[in-house]
Amino acid sequence: MFNFETLIYEKEDNVAYVTLNRPQVLNAYNIRMRDELYQILGAIKDDPEIKVAIFKGAGDRAFCAGADLSEFLTAPSPTVAREVRWQRDVWGLFLSIPQPLIAALHGYVLGSGIEMALCCDIRIASEDAQFGLPEIGLGIIPAAGATQTLPRVIGQAKALEMMFLGHRVNADEALAMALVNRVVPKADLLPVVDELARQIASLDIVVVRCIKQAVTRGLSLRLHEGLELERRLASLVWQFKQ
Ligand code: COA
């Protein structure tokens, strides 16, 4: 159905599996991956058979080591390279997916890698995972959503510290700051994520989607607006059940 160069897309029992597949460069995110991811995200969003999607990285060493630095080096400047990435709103599309998304994180989870993980709803890490935003060292700001998504997940102070210092945090530190939901031994990562996805896929899809919408949209609203959104979604679920 799809023939991708940088990603593997699979579908089984209402679960979609997206594998970042450039292991020779630690799954670095390049323009081709951006275009293919955009296509896959659209397909997931529009596919009523898909109840949950899993994002993972090929190879032993990384989920994703960030933007492809070789493209940065061939562009006139990192800023120009970054602008090219804005030509498609992958991150806006990612955050608009109605189904629950789970990130299975191992090894290096840097730059766009951590930003991709932050577009997911649940993050499970293996013990070897290392997280970081090295953009500051390249003279740019994280611009695949992290300035907005990271503080919403770990709080303003910790997010700013990670962005200012560009240092790496290990899996236990990531768990302590609630950047990830759970840390598991490396061999258990994919089985644990798969089990979690299948558990969610077995639930009522309308209820699951409404919960996701209430929580994710609600985070950008004032409390009274969020409560109003919750009320509307609750009555939608109620009507659907009649
Ligand atoms: N873009 C392009 N290629 C990358 C890459 C990236 N972001 N990250 C790693 N690679 C490539 C390396 O060039 C190397 O390729 P080679 O074997 O052809 O030389 C291969 O992946 C393995 O990486 P290497 O650096 O040899 O592994 P390491 O264990 O010594 O270091 C990292 C791993 C992740 C610490 C290091 O690769 C790194 O700092 N990468 C860049 C991270 C970054 O700044 N990302 C951009 C954020 S905006």
**48 CA to centre of ligand 1 in angstroms:** 37
Average pLDDT value for the chain: 94
1 within some domain: no
Q: What pLDDT score was predicted for residue 241?
A: 84
By annotation, the residues acting in catalysis are 115, 135
What does pTM read for this prediction?
0.95
pLDDT at 86 over 70: no
Percent of the chain clearing pLDDT 90 (strictly above) = 90
pLDDT at 81 over 80: no
Q: Residue 211 belongs to what domain range? A: 205-241
Q: What pLDDT score was predicted for residue 118?
A: 98
How many degrees, rounded to 5, is the angle at CA 153 between CA 81 and CA 163? 45
Residue 59, both tokens: 């190879």
213 within some domain: yes
Residues 236 and 119 both lie in one domain: no
Residues 157 and 192 both lie in one domain: yes
pLDDT digits (tens, 9 = 90+) for 32-55: 999 999 999 999 999 999 999 999
Residues 188 and 214 both lie in one domain: no
Residues 159 and 210 both lie in one domain: no
125 within some domain: yes
CA-based max dimension of the chain: 59
Q: What pLDDT score was predicted for residue 27?
A: 98
pLDDT greater at residue 100 or residue 86: 100
Number of domains making up the chain: 2
Q: What pLDDT score was predicted for residue 3?
A: 81
Residues 14 and 121 both lie in one domain: yes
Average pLDDT estimate for 76-85: 64
Residues 41 and 132 both lie in one domain: yes
2 within some domain: no
Pocket probe mutation, ligand 1, options 20, 26, 170, max atoms within 8 Å of Cβ: 26
pLDDT at 75 over 80: no
Q: What pLDDT score was predicted for residue 224?
A: 98
Protein residue with least CA distance to atom 19, ligand 1? 25
User: Quick one: pLDDT band at residue 14, thresholds 50, 70, 90?
Assistant: very high
Residues 41 and 109 both lie in one domain: yes
Residues 212 and 170 both lie in one domain: no
pLDDT digits (tens, 9 = 90+) for 26-38: 999 999 999 999 9
Protein residue with least CA distance to atom 22, ligand 1? 25
114 within some domain: yes
Residues 170 and 229 both lie in one domain: no
Residues 148 and 234 both lie in one domain: no
pLDDT at 242 over 90: no
127 within some domain: yes
Residues 173 and 219 both lie in one domain: no
Residues 77 and 121 both lie in one domain: yes
Residue 95, both tokens: 């955050």
Alpha-carbon distance 106 to 127, whole Å?
Answer: 8
pLDDT greater at residue 240 or residue 8: 8
Q: What pLDDT score was predicted for residue 71?
A: 87
CATH of the domain at 29: 3.90.226.10
